[in-house]
A = this chain, B = another copy of it.
Amino acid sequence: MALVDTGAFLRDLKELRQIGKFKTGVHRPTYSPQDMESRHWLMGKLAECGLEASMDGIGNVFGRHQGSGPHVLSGSHIESQNEAGWLDGALGVVGALALARAGLPVDVCAFADEEGHFSIGFPGSRSIIGDLPETEIDGAKDRTTGTPMRDALAAAGLAGVPRMGLEEGRYKGFFEMHIEQGTQLERAGLRIGVVTGIVAIWQFRIVIEGQQDHAGGTTMAERRDAGLAAVRLLAAVDAAFPLLCGERTVWTTGRFRLEPDAPSIIPGRAEVLFQFRDIEMPVLERLHAALKSLVQESNRRERCTARLEAIRLDTPALCDPAMMTALEGAAEALAPGVWTKMPSGAGHDAQIISQKLPVVMLFVPSIGGISHHWAEDTKEEDLALGASVLGEGVRRFLAR
């Protein structure tokens, strides 16, 4: 049953870890010399495993299986955040390589810039599904250095190189292995997460305007306290959302700023950043309606004006039930009792690919939940188990 050569898998991972090494992590920003070195390293590995390796005009590295299908697609991204962890996307790429090494009919892809160095959002996976216009590339800049994406592509030797698209009808689905980037598995003593979907983020800005006044000279009856109105609104959300949410919905107030932010001045303005996440559209819509009602109610009740602005209203990406069933069976076979189904709270290339193909993801635990930091890590036995479950899951899915 153990199709995957976990020894080779771990050796590959550790080899890749040396490219752009930073402390115990890596520094491989998109199109940097280190990133390009890792892409060329991957092409060599793909060829070694008998795949036809190529890199396209957006930097996507692709390994095409030479045998007959039906095929699956698997992969993730290979660049890292600045001074970040060694696993993250690299895990899913090397996991896909392990599938190829096991002789499974898999095409391997390392999508470019999932980490968003160029701030246009998933250029690699969007390009491969045909959803990245040239004009977006023209306008993109590195958010750290300001370098235009066109210049970065040229410096990486990718100017004028054609971009590839997914071959219609070739794939039964897309598998992506990733670290959890949270602590749910670790806290529950679990080793594998079968992902049910990638949650949508609905992000809002709530601006409340009142009247700035002296905290000594203005009676409570006269006040138009924007901060107090914001507290009341958020307390109302705190009371209402638990009655309306789904099983795994989360909601977060990440910012609560008062102006002028002084001890003896009644705030004239409050700015709140509020978001909720869920994988079910009806839940998202129900919470949005409730939020709008609570803001309306605030405007009826308070002497301040609250304005609700939607910043992003994503679509959730649900994982494919048959692919989940295959991974669940593999998990129960290889890790009985220590796996769970869970949504992904963070974004991944799989949510883009899900627009064209059935997708599924598999999570392994993150030690201490650390992510996007060079200290990110996962136990070696969990990495190996993840690769084995992935391999067995792909086998089961293809064998249906």
Q: Decide if A216 is an interface residue (CB 8 Å cutoff).
A: yes
B369 touches A213 (CB 8 A): yes
Interface size on A, residues (CB 8 A): 55
A228 B238 Cβ-Cβ under 8 A: yes
Q: Is A265 an interface residue (CB 8 A)?
A: yes
**The stretch of A84-92, A140-148, A254-262, A319-327 that contacts the partner chain:** A254-262
- Stretch from A46-54, A64-72, A119-127, A217-225 that touches the partner: A217-225
Whether A263 lies near B254 (C-beta < 8 A) is: yes
Quick one: given A182-B214, A214-B181, are A252 and B225 in contact (CB under 8 Å)?
yes
Residue of B nearest to A239 (CB): B235
Contact B275 A254 (CB under 8 A): no
CB neighbours of A345 from chain B (8 A): 214-218
Closest residue of chain B to A267 (Cβ to Cβ) is B254
- The CA of A252 and the CA of B273, in the complex, are separated in Å by 22
Q: How far is the CB of A114 from chain B (nearest CB, A)?
A: 15
Q: Roughly how many angstroms separate A253 CA and B249 CA in the complex, as a whole number?
A: 30
A240-259: CB near B (< 8 Å → 1, else 0) gives 00100000111111111110
A231 within 8 Å of B by Cβ? Answer: yes
Q: Give bound CA distance, A219 to B242, whole Å.
A: 13
**Which residues of chain B have C-beta atoms less than 8 A from A262's C-beta?**
254-255
User: Does A296 sit at the interface, judged by CB under 8 A?
Assistant: no
Which residues, 259 to 314 on A, are CB-close (under 8 Å) to B?
261-267, 270, 273, 275, 277, 311
Q: Are B277 and A252 in contact (CB under 8 A)?
A: no
In chain B, what residue has the closest Cβ to A245? B220
Tell me the complex Cα distance, A184–B218, Å: 7
**A181-B214, A264-B201, A369-B214 are contacts. A220–B253 as well, Cβ < 8 Å?**
no
CA distance A222 to B342 in the complex (A): 15
Q: How many copies does the complex hold?
A: 2
The CA-CA distance from A371 to B238 in the complex, in Å, is 38
Contact A371:B214 (CB < 8 A) given known A263-B203, A264-B201? yes
Structural contact, B257 and A264, CB atoms closer than 8 A:
no
In the complex, the answer to whether A277 meets B215 with C-beta atoms within 8 Å is yes
Within 8 A of B (CB), among A171-185: 180-184
Distance between A265 CB and nearest chain B CB, rounded to angstroms:
6
Is A252 a contact partner of B264 (Cβ separation < 8 A)?
A: yes
Q: Quick check: is A199 within 8 A (CB to CB) of the other chain?
A: yes
Which B residues lie within 8 Å of A180 (CB)?
217
Q: Is A346's CB within 8 Å of the partner chain B? A: yes
Chain B residues near A220: list those with CB within 8 A: 242, 249-251
Whether the pair B238, A231 counts as a contact (CB closer than 8 A) is yes
> Shortest CB–CB separation between residue A175 and chain B, in angstroms?
21
B254 touches A216 (CB 8 A): no
Contacts of A391 in B (CB 8 A): none
Tell me if B254 and A255 are in contact (CB < 8 A): no
Contact yes or no, B215 A184, CB < 8 A? no
Q: Which residue of B lies closest to A261 (CB)?
A: B255
A199 touches B216 (CB 8 A): yes
Q: What would be 7 A-B contacts, judged by CB atoms less than 8 Å apart? A: A181-B217, A183-B217, A213-B369, A214-B346, A216-B346, A218-B369, A220-B250
Contact residues of A with B, CB < 8 Å? Answer: 180-184, 187, 199, 201, 203, 213-220, 222, 225, 227-228, 231-232, 234-235, 238, 242, 248-258, 261-267, 270, 273, 275, 277, 311, 344-346, 369, 371
What 9 A-B pairs are tightest by C-beta distance, nearest first? A216-B345, A182-B217, A235-B235, A215-B252, A217-B345, A254-B263, A263-B273, A231-B234, A216-B346
